Amino acid sequence: MSDMLTEKEVLHVARLARINLTDEEVMKYRIQLKQLLDDVDKIKDVKIDDDEQLITPIDEKAVLRSDEAGEMLEPEDIMKNVPVSNGNFVEVPVMINE
């Protein structure tokens, strides 16, 4: 087994995470991600019979909210933090999949 991921493997996970990597980073992560994934692989050797999962460590059930409106933001306040806005809208490059 190699102690490095391939460049393709690193670029695949980078794409999953929508993270652009420099060539230098790709090289570094080929080793580091491999180390991490090998370590995580230890879970495969752990024996467990009970298949019940713990999603969140609380015993209480969800308490639901009544259907009543609360306060909302003013569009101007929203736009203060928006990198690119246009009037009352948030602007992004055209979404290709439409």
13 binds another protein (CB under 8 A): yes
Choosing from 2, 3, 23, 97, the residue that interacts with another protein (CB under 8 A) is 97
3 or 51: CB nearest another protein: 51
2 binds another protein (CB under 8 A): no
Residues 20-79 that bind another protein (CB under 8 A): 20-22, 25, 28-29, 32-33, 35-37, 39-40, 42-44, 46, 48, 50-58, 60-75, 77-79
Nearest 5°: the CA angle 66, 69, 74 is 150
| Tokens matching residue 37 | 């994934």
90 binds another protein (CB under 8 A): yes
φ/ψ (deg, to 5) at 12: -65, -50
The answer to whether 10 and 30 have CB atoms below 8 angstroms apart is: yes
Amino acid of residue 18: R
The answer to whether 37 and 53 have CB atoms below 8 angstroms apart is: no
3 binds another protein (CB under 8 A): no
Distance of CA 78 to the CA centre of its chain: 23
3 or 67: CB nearest another protein: 67
